[in-house]
Amino acid sequence: MRLTILGGGGFRVPLVYGALLGDRAEGRVSQVVLHDLDADRLSAVTRVLAEQAAGVPDAPAVTATTDLEEALRGADFVFSAIRVGGLEGRADDERVALAEGVLGQETVGAGGIAYGLRTVPVAVDVARRVARLAPEAWVINFTNPAGLVTEAMSRYLGDRVIGICDSPVGLGRRIARVLGADPGRAFIDYVGLNHLGWVRGLRVAGRDELPRLLADPALLGSFEEGRLFGPDWLRSLGAVPNEYLHYYYFNRETVRAYQEADRTRGAFLRDQQARFYEEMRHPDAPALATWDRTRAEREATYMAENREAAGAGEREADDLSGGYEKVALALMRAVARDERATLILNVRNRGTLAVLDADAVIEVPCLVDANGAHPLAVDPLPGHATGLVCAVKAVEREVLAAADSGSRASAVRAFALHPLVDSVNVAHRLVEGYTAVHPGLAYLR
Ligand code: G6P
Ligand code: MN
């Protein structure tokens, strides 16, 4: 089984490789092909993987290339984890938005739109090449903004592209933990768009345990989302939102926290990651130890401004170890071995949410088997959530239209129609500001 990783010089590749090393089952991945535009990053990551594999019998073989077509030929699975414009681009996204007083987060609000406008044309190019060179391959998209990028790719790959995110799984795991339920036996009733979804129930043996959580302020205050949103607001909603909804429900505070921070998340990661790749230029640098130290720091500071704005304190140790690679591996295993699994994934709606059309990519529990991911029926969303989902999907559609046609008017509409952009004038200035700093947006006319 051959897995190709696009963005193979990326910092989180060792997480994926670590998960593969733990997989001993029949039909597991035996070959990993890393693709990246940057040969130095490829060699840094290859060194980390080599140290991870030391002493592991039958570790998957790793090769690296800067030739995309070579990387895609013969792939059974393609992980797409690219970052168009790099972390410098992410920091620019934040800066331009904050200068207008709006949010520049890489997946939410103006920043997410700018990142999407840059990424969709590249993701579409990848999708077309996969369709031509590896039509039987399954594409697992990690590239943010993950829902939008998955939808862009699905226009060329249909249901062969599946988007993943670890935030719904992490949320489900935390809720199960505070309820004393086994996360492996719990069904998480979650739906929405990527980074815009709500847990409305957690069923164990057919019984919904969520009301017990919502009724107990002490339990509500004992986990990340409870502290972020506050017990009162969760009770009021009757649901637990994805942590990224903090940017919506507490927009003013999160924008201010970002403005007051020494450095935005993107700027912090730009500097932190640059140091890692710089250290890796020394041939004697301890690759795995250097990577692991950098990873721990990255995880500990995740959403720090939001936690600060909410007075939520530090992250819990149990929440640090991600889960992104576990979702990817579970998905691959279910597809490759026809091992049925229920996973929350980004797939085409096909009638699951009646308010969206069949091709809209949503994030929803899916039954996965050798035929792919099949969304499960879920209860409709309440009006307030439907409103946000429809508004943001309309924004995503404007981004896709802009990427397709090069229409600047579509790009302006994308910004102006976003619930977190408060004026059409701001939208115009955002388009000007972003096109001035990002050469990748030169296609907008
Ligand atoms: C979560 C999100 C991902 C995001 C990751 C890293 O897992 O679901 O979409 O890429 O965090 O965030 P960071 O701010 O460290 O890049
Ligand atoms: Mn995510």
> Is the torsion defined by CA of 290, 293, 299, 303 positive or negative?
negative
What is the SS3 assignment for 37?
A: coil
CA Rg value for the chain: 21
Listing DSSP states for 254-281 in one string gives HHHHHHHSSS-HHHHHHHHHHHHHHHTT
Q: Nearest C-alpha to atom 12 of ligand 1 is from which residue?
A: 302
* pLDDT score recorded for residue 318: 83
Residue in 80, 150, 166 to alter for ligand 1 test, most ligand atoms within 8 A of Cβ: 166
Q: 313 pLDDT band (50/70/90 cuts)?
A: very high
pLDDT tens figures, 274-308: 999 999 999 999 999 999 999 999 999 999 999 99
Q: Is 171 in the pocket of ligand 1 (CB under 6 A)?
A: no
* pLDDT score recorded for residue 323: 84
* pLDDT score recorded for residue 82: 98
Q: Is 5 in the pocket of ligand 1 (CB under 6 A)?
A: no
CA 142 to centroid of ligand 2, rounded, Å: 8
CA 328 to centroid of ligand 2, rounded, Å: 12
321: pLDDT strictly greater than 80: no
Q: Is 324 in the pocket of ligand 1 (CB under 6 A)?
A: yes
**CA 205 to chain CA centroid, nearest Å:** 30
320: pLDDT strictly greater than 90: no
* Minimum-distance ligand 1 atom for the alpha carbon of 165: 8
> Where would I find the beta strands (DSSP E) of 349-393?
361-369, 372-375
* pLDDT score recorded for residue 182: 94
In the numeric block, which tokens belong to residue 379? 């209860």
Over residues 104-110, the mean pLDDT reads: 97
Q: Which of 199, 207, 138 is nearest to 168 (CA)?
A: 199
Q: What's the chain's average pLDDT?
A: 97
Residue in 103, 144, 271 to alter for ligand 1 test, most ligand atoms within 8 A of Cβ: 144
Please report, rounded to a whole number, the percentage of residues in the chain having pLDDT higher than 90.
97
* pLDDT score recorded for residue 324: 87
User: Can you tell me the distance from the alpha carbon of 192 to that of 170, in angstroms, rounded to the nearest whole number?
Assistant: 16
Please report, rounded to a whole number, the percentage of residues in the chain having pLDDT higher than 70.
100
Q: 319 pLDDT band (50/70/90 cuts)?
A: confident
* pLDDT score recorded for residue 137: 98
pLDDT tens figures, 356-412: 999 999 999 999 999 999 999 999 999 999 999 999 999 999 999 999 999 999 999
322: pLDDT strictly greater than 80: no
What's the pTM? 0.98
Q: Which of 364, 367, 324 is nearest to 192 (CA)?
A: 364
Q: Do residues 327 and 343 lie in contact, with contact meaning Cβ atoms separated by under 8 Å?
A: yes
pLDDT tens figures, 134-173: 999 999 999 999 999 999 999 999 999 999 999 999 999 9
pLDDT tens figures, 58-103: 999 999 999 999 999 999 999 999 999 999 999 999 999 999 999 9
Domain segments of the chain: what residues?
A: 168-186+198-242, 251-310
What is the SS3 assignment for 428?
A: helix
